[in-house]
Amino acid sequence: RFPSLLQGSKRTFDSYAASRQEIKAFSNAAERELEKLFYFHSGRCIHKWAHYLEVYEREFALLRGATIRFLEIGVSEGGSLELWRRYFGEKAIITGIDINPACRSRVDPPNKVRIGSQTDAEFLADVVEEMGGPLDVILDDGSHVASHILITFNLLFPSLRTGGLYVIEDIHTSYWAEIFGGGYRRKGTAVELGKTLVDDMHGWYHDNGQEQLDKTEIASVRFYDSILVIEKGNVAEPRHIKVGSDE
């Protein structure tokens, strides 16, 4: 799935793999609920970077126990859907999509999996309708191909509720030309999408137009190492206010 030699770097992807000693140390230090669920998971395979767990705990903690609609793009071995079920609880509506038909057998009820492409507009619309949208969280852990990420974002962001989160995982692939169509500061990648959204969010203060979304739709854009989170908003025109005495 990942190139053996990272373009623009002398390191390989495998060189980032945690050692057994590191994994033991991480699991011993686990304090947050999602970390504990991950490190002591015994079901289907989950493959995550260690620092993602803290990010997701921060972003998703307030959604636990609620009747949320959670869509994950990229099922792989099915382990992450098991993790989300344990984390969010039985009220959550959780669906995964993948292009690989073998993923049908890797998901247990009440989770669901639908087979199709993340760039297929009709397929995605059907999935959202089946889930009873609008959605609360969309997590793109799919192909990681730059063009696919952008197409999917354009198709699915309108299906997100106000206050919902659109999350793109593994955006370090934005820097890798091999397989993923990336490159340092190359237009059309997830990293550059995030930068454009920052400009769009500040559209109140410049006259260069809105490239991706209207400024009223973006509550916040949050960058983490390899994760981009866009919070959908219903943003009013900003006002500055003075209080207290000028004397």
Q: Which residues are catalytic?
A: 144
The pairing of strands 93-98 and 112-115 is parallel
| Cβ proximity of 145 and 3 under 8 Å | no
In this structure, what are the phi and psi dihedrals at residue 227, rounded to the nearest 5 degrees?
-135, 135
> What is the rounded CA–CA span in Å between residue 143 and residue 151?
12
> What is the rounded CA–CA span in Å between residue 17 and residue 87?
25
221: amino acid identity, one letter: V
> What is the rounded CA–CA span in Å between residue 4 and residue 7?
9
The torsion of the CA quartet 132, 81, 109, 69, rounded to 10 degrees, works out to -20
> What is the rounded CA–CA span in Å between residue 141 and residue 83?
14
Residue with tokens 């009440």: 110
Residue with tokens 């769009």: 200
